[in-house]
Amino acid sequence: MFFPLLLSLTACKWEQKRELSRNREKWQAQNITNYQYKVSIISSWGANQLMPLTMVYQNRQLVSVVDHEGNVQELYWDTLGGIDVIFQEVDDALAHRKRDLTEITYDPTYGFPTYVDIFYHETGVGAEDTKRYTISDFEILTAP
């Protein structure tokens, strides 16, 4: 009973890795350097009241983060919500046995993730956590 279940989970992760690779290549092939989008990061660690954040990139560098009320936020948000960071976090979830990628959808045109749901079941008291990303309102910007 255990072996068929393990085989099924392995096949599922393998397909998710293939889909991730295809969509990452699609994103990279677009060679988009100036863009903005809204990201909502929902997690138990408490920044939910700021969401969604509008992330603005010029030459692939984060230049502005604005919360849902129009307040400028610190640029450290790039480590939590940049498209390349989200791709890496999904890749890590697929490679790490203490994380499960429970759901992901991709933008059909550009390939970036539009919805990601990762369940972390680390050891320790209160260490289980879910992190969800929702990316919307993607817009390519003209060069500055």
> pLDDT (tens digit, 9 = 90+) per residue, 54-105?
999 998 888 999 999 999 988 677 666 678 888 988 888 888 766 777 789 9
Give the domain range for residue 52: 2-140
| Number of residues that this document lists for the chain | 144
Domain count, the chain: 1
Report residue 78 as tokens. Answer: 């790039």
Query: pLDDT at residue 42 above 70?
Result: yes
Q: Is the pLDDT of residue 6 over 60?
A: no
115 - beta bridge partners? 105, 134
Residue 128 or 29, more confident: 29
Bigger pLDDT: 8 or 73? 73
Give the sign of the dihedral formed by CA 14, CA 18, CA 23, CA 28. positive
> Closest Cα partner for 90 from 109, 60, 114, 116?
116
Beta-bridge mates of residue 139? 36
28-37, 100-109, 129-138 — most confident range: 28-37
CB-based contacts of 36: which residues, under 8 Å, 6+ apart? Answer: 54, 55, 56, 57, 137, 138, 139, 141
For residue 11, pLDDT over 70 is answered with no
